[in-house]
Structures are given as structure tokens and as C-alpha cells.
Amino acid sequence: MKVKFPDLISAIVVASLTVCAFYPNSSSAAGAASATPAKEGYLTVFTATQTVDADFHAYFDLHMGYDINDASGKEIKFVPNHDSDIDEAPDTATLPQGFYSIVARSVGGMVRFSVEIRSGETTTIRLDGTGLARPRSRYARPVVLPNGEIIGWSTPV
């Protein structure tokens, strides 16, 4: 049997309409999702550390975990702040933009403070006693405790 050109075009049109019926607005949904900018920011907290003997006198200083609470005080996330017993770098949490309350251990004890996460910015908090030099970005904003002590910086990514 010989397939004619109009029959082939008809088959393609029917197949296309069938796909559209099962997946309505599939092209517009993908376009809309990719056109919307991410409304999230990042938080890195250098909490106080604890020394761990990971393997026969191989000692590592791990950053302690901390809680992230929403503006009402409800816990929304616990950040362990290390991946393994040899990971000395703090984790970076991804959060929707907004205001949060952080409960963490500093070198001076437990602290609770508020932080604003802005879209496309990384907020870095230093509670481990290491240096708090101002970042090179002229857009850096200080993060302060209620007593005015600077504990970190928020900078654009």
C-alpha cells in the first residue's frame, strides 16, 4: 500500500492534537517556570565547633547544627552544618526570601537572632570567633545582634 503525502500530514496533525489533549499548556507551563526568577537566598552560619576524633587521632572541628524558625518562632528546618565526621566546612541552607529566627551555639553560648534572607543574596554569620572582616562588596549589609554586635554580613551572590 502506498502512503500518500496528504495522509501522512493528516496522521501528524492527529498525533499532535492527541498529545496536546493529554498535556494541555505544556509549552506555556515550561516557559512560565523558566521566566520566573528564583525568590530564594542562602544562609551560611559558622557556628561554634566541637572537636571529633574521626579515626585514631585524626581530629576535626565540626560546626554544630542549628535551627531555623519562621517569623512566628515555629521550627522549619534543622541544619546539621556538616556532612560527615571530617567535614569542617559549614553547610549553606537555601531558603525562600523572608525573615527567620536562628537558634545556634556561638563561642559564648546559645544565641537567638533574626535574619532577613533576600532573593539572590548569601548571608554569612560568624559565631565561631573567627574574623569578621567586611566583605569586598560595597553592597554588604551587616547582621547584628540586638546589642549592636556585628556577627556577619549579607552580600549579593
Q: What is the domain-level CATH number for residue 97?
A: 2.60.40
Q: Look up the domain containing 50 and give its range.
A: 40-156
- Do residues 49 and 22 both lie within one domain? no
pLDDT for the residue numbered 33: 41
Sheet bearing 66-69, strands edge to edge:
75-79, 66-69, 98-106, 109-117
pLDDT for the residue numbered 4: 53
- Do residues 44 and 25 both lie within one domain? no
Q: Residue type for 21, please? A: A
Cell numbers that stand for 84 in this block: 560527615
Q: Encode the chain (157 residues) as per-residue pLDDT tens digits.
A: 554 545 544 544 444 444 343 334 433 333 334 444 669 999 999 999 988 887 777 888 899 999 999 988 899 999 999 888 777 889 999 999 999 999 999 888 888 888 999 999 999 888 887 766 777 777 777 877 777 777 877 777 6
User: How many domains, in total, are found in the chain?
Assistant: 2
What is d(CA 150, CA 93) in angstroms, rounded to the nearest whole number? 21
- Do residues 46 and 81 both lie within one domain? yes
